[in-house]
Structure 1
Amino acid sequence: MGRLVRIVVAGVVSALALSGLIRLYAPVSGAERQLAFIRAELDRGAGEAAQGMFPEGYFFLHALYGLAWVDVGRHHRRAEAVREARWALARLDGPQGTAPFSEGLSPRFGVFHAGWTNRLLGGIVGLDPDPALVERFEADARAIAAAFDGSASPFLPAYPGQSWPVDSAVAVASLRLHDELLTPAFGATVQRWVAAARQRLDPATGLLPHVTDPASGEPLQGARGSSQSVIQRFLPEIDQEFAREQYLRFRELFVGRPLGLGPAVREYPKGTDGPGDVDSGPLPLGVSLSATVVTIGAARAEGDDSLASALAHYGELAGVPMQTPGTKRYAFGLLPIGDAFLVWAQTAPARAEAPPAVAGPLWRVPLTVLLLLAGAGPWLRWRKPKRRQQLGE
Structure 2
Amino acid sequence: MTLISDLPPELLPCIAGHLHAAVDVVRFHAVCREWRDALRYLPRRPSFLPWLLAPWPTPDDDTAAAGGACRCVFSRTTYHAPGLGIRDKRVAHYDGGASWFVGGLFVNPLTGRAAACAVDDPYLSDWIDNEGSRCIFSGDGTLLTCCFYDAGPPLSIYGAIWCPDYQQVWKRLGDADSDERACAVAYHDGAAVCVDLARCYVHEIGGPAAGDQTTFLPLPDEPGKVRRRSYLLELRGELLLASVLQDAGCTDDDDDDDDDRLSVSVHAFDLVAALNALDQLDAAVDGAGGGDPPSPSVWEKMDGATGDHVLFLGYPRSFAVEAARYGGEVPGGSAYFVGRSKPCRVYRCSFEDDGTAATLVDTLPAGWNDERCMWFLPEPDIAPVIGART
The answer to whether TM tops 0.5 is no
Which one has a larger percent helix, Structure 1 or Structure 2?
1
TM-score normalised by length of structure 2: 0.29
TM-score normalised by length of structure 1: 0.29
Q: Which has the higher contact order (CA 8 A, sep 6+)?
A: 1
Which one has a larger percent strand, Structure 1 or Structure 2?
2
